Amino acid sequence: MIGTLMNNGSHILIVDDDLDLCHMLALLLSRAGYATQVSHDGEDALRLGRQRLPDALLLDVKMPGMDGLEVLNSFKKLDPDLPVILITAHASIAGSVAAVKAGAFDYLAKPFEHREVLRLVRRALAERERQRRVCLPLGETPQDARLREIMGPSSAVSRIICELNLVAGSEFNVVVQGETGAGKELVARAIHQRSRRAKGPFVPVDCGAIPETLIESELFGYQKGAFTGADRPKPGKFEASQGGTLFLDEIANLPLAAQAKLLRVLQDKACCRLGATRPVPIDTRLVAAANKNLHELATAGLLREDLYFRLNEFSITVPPLRERKDDIPYLAKRFLDITNRELNKAVKGFSESCLEALFAYNWPGNVRQLRSVIRRAVLVADDLVTERHLDIKRTPVPGLAFTPKVQGEPWLELPLKEIVRRSVFSVEKEVLTEALKYTSGNKSKAARLLHIDYKTIHTKIKQFGLI
């Protein structure tokens, strides 16, 4: 049951089977400027918590169904740092010790004064803020906490933070790999912000958005008269990023001629403008991003191997959203809050069916697509975002959604071994066909989806005549 929900203030969830007590606490906290939600049983409280994690939890110990300690343990799995204030009818030293052991921040003994409630809530929220700012998990800095706030709380994001912190202080070139919309530029910016070059410029270049005839002049610059229309000298992106970081997004789109010049710049630490005879010393760090496997491209001859080895001094992979679904409810709520503020709306959260649909969808456009979907949903929703507000269709994952057949002779006339061989052939071919359709012909993605290596999928494609 949802109670008063305000747009400003910290969010407090009140859980008690006493309706009058819930109403009184909600009124008290709302008047103090806090946003409140109330629930009268543990299962409903967890449902609300999954829709929107509170900043603090007021929780009765004795309730029908799930008791307070069970609810506390479940919420701690959602958010280990959540401050929980237990409400108990009996104040005792043993009770306080048991509450603290269970992971509670503190406890309130009935009957209690209003001032005591407000004092404990303020303390709990202050501790929550202190943990966020000072005692960050795994020794994280406020910068790390900000990145986690943007990308999500999953273990995959924790790994990314550890890896970028490991390499940020060095001068290593870094390759960031991941699908479009997964957050590669966020990682590249985070590396720059943590490096000794943080005060220098961060210069992003989308290699796929620049025409092939202009890529060299964009990267390396040109002198006056270098070509028709060059009526004045212009520095390139390498010079523009002096003392900072140059971020080459979708580097696999660079033509081979530009790759050769890029390799020369990396080797010589100097750049020669088009039409110039004297090189300019370059002091910049390179972070490259790709939505394809660069090693596979280098093996296939689409990327110079020597350039790949020069770039890939350290590699970070940003997994697609469908492989870190723990981030989906958090990111969806974050985008909902941002859009609420932008549109001056008060959409409260997501229905159960909506959350199920968000989890079931495969998100080919990753976080960027999720943001667009949530923004549109908040625009058209009134109270809660439901599945009908989502501009997505559930995408079936390819599998054995067919009946294997033995081709040719009637199967009863064949030996068992031959029946099995032909059935396996038929199944493999159909699965591979479906996987390639699902990935729009991307062999690397299909191989990962089927948990086979790139060489094996090429062999199978030739074997089944799917080229």
The CATH class given to the 11-133 domain equals alpha beta
Q: Confidence band (pLDDT; 50, 70, 90) for 91?
A: low
The CATH class given to the 411-463 domain equals mainly alpha
Determine the Cα–Cα distance for residues 115 and 31; give it in Å rounded to an integer: 13
Amino acid at 233: P
User: Domain 142-317 belongs to what topology?
Assistant: Rossmann fold (3.40.50)
pLDDT, tens digit, 9 for 90 and up, residues 25-55:
999 998 888 888 899 888 888 888 776 778 8
Determine the Cα–Cα distance for residues 132 and 122; give it in Å rounded to an integer: 15
User: Domain 321-389 belongs to what topology?
Assistant: Helicase, Ruva Protein; domain 3 (1.10.8)
| Of residues 91, 112, 85, 104, the one with CA closest to residue 24 | 112
pLDDT, tens digit, 9 for 90 and up, residues 107-143:
888 888 898 899 889 888 887 776 655 444 555 677 8
Lowest mean pLDDT among 177-181, 196-200, 300-304, 374-378: 300-304
CA–CA–CA angle 58, 59, 60 (5° rounding): 135
Contact (Cβ atoms closer than 8 angstroms) between residue 54 and residue 11: yes
Determine the Cα–Cα distance for residues 338 and 32; give it in Å rounded to an integer: 23
Q: Which two tokens stand for residue 225?
A: 């008269």
Determine the Cα–Cα distance for residues 157 and 318; give it in Å rounded to an integer: 8
* pTM exceeds cut of 0.75: no
CA 96 to each of CA 79, 103, 107, 464: distance values in angstroms, whole numbers, following the listed order: 22, 11, 7, 68
Same fold, 11-133 and 142-317: yes
| Of residues 129, 126, 123, 83, the one with CA closest to residue 105 | 83
Q: What is the pLDDT of residue 203?
A: 92
Sequential DSSP letters for 81-133: T--EEEEES---HHHHHHHHHTT-SEEEESS--HHHHHHHHHHHHHHHHHHHH
CA-based max dimension of the chain: 87
| Of residues 211, 215, 206, the one with CA closest to residue 185 | 206
Q: State yes or no: pLDDT of 435 exceeds 60.
A: yes
Contact (Cβ atoms closer than 8 angstroms) between residue 15 and residue 57: yes
Determine the Cα–Cα distance for residues 438 and 181; give it in Å rounded to an integer: 18
Contact (Cβ atoms closer than 8 angstroms) between residue 258 and residue 238: no
DSSP for residue 55? S
393 vs 246, more confident: 246
Task: Please state the rounded mean pLDDT for residues 289-317.
Answer: 88
Locate tokens 């040109």: which residue?
Answer: 222
Q: Where are the domains of the chain?
A: 11-133, 142-317, 321-389, 411-463
CA–CA–CA angle 412, 413, 416 (5° rounding): 70
Q: Is 334 helix (H, G, I), strand (E, B) or coil?
A: helix
